[in-house]
Amino acid sequence: MRRSDLGEFEEIVLLAVAALSPGAYSVVIAEELEKETGQTVSTGAVHAALQRLEQKGYLQSSLGEATQERGGRRKRLFTVTNFGGKILSDARTVRNNLWDRIAPGELSKMGLNVSGL
């Protein structure tokens, strides 16, 4: 795998965009991440990550239609590019390969709480 500059938060933002597409915008991405992680996620942090991911070529954005609930303003909608999809696929491959190398029960032996894994 070639080295990417994808951080952990950027990776989950990129994954959320893929999961929420074609309606992915900063507010719903932050809500999805809060639901999935149980952590507070600011829309500002999501917005900054979206900008970085777009600059890296992992995302592209376009303006959606104006909506009443936003006072006629348009949402910036994000989608994963082919390059972004490749980066996600590469990251998943590395993670899966490492998880597959951990013997069943090994994490429990280390005293780690692994319920749900």
pLDDT tens figures, 59-68: 999 998 777 7
Tell me the C-alpha distance between 56 and 110, whole Å: 38
Tens-place pLDDT, residues 44-63: 999 999 999 999 999 999 99
Average of per-residue pLDDT values in the chain: 88
Its pTM stands at 0.82
Tell me the C-alpha distance between 48 and 52, whole Å: 6
Please check whether residue 91 is in contact with residue 6, taking contact to mean a CB–CB distance below 8 angstroms. Answer: yes
Please check whether residue 59 is in contact with residue 46, taking contact to mean a CB–CB distance below 8 angstroms. Answer: no
3-state secondary structure of 10: helix
- What would you report as the CA-atom Rg of the chain, rounded to the nearest whole angstrom? 17
Domains of the chain (ranges; CATH) run 8-104 (1.10.10.10)
DSSP label of 58: S
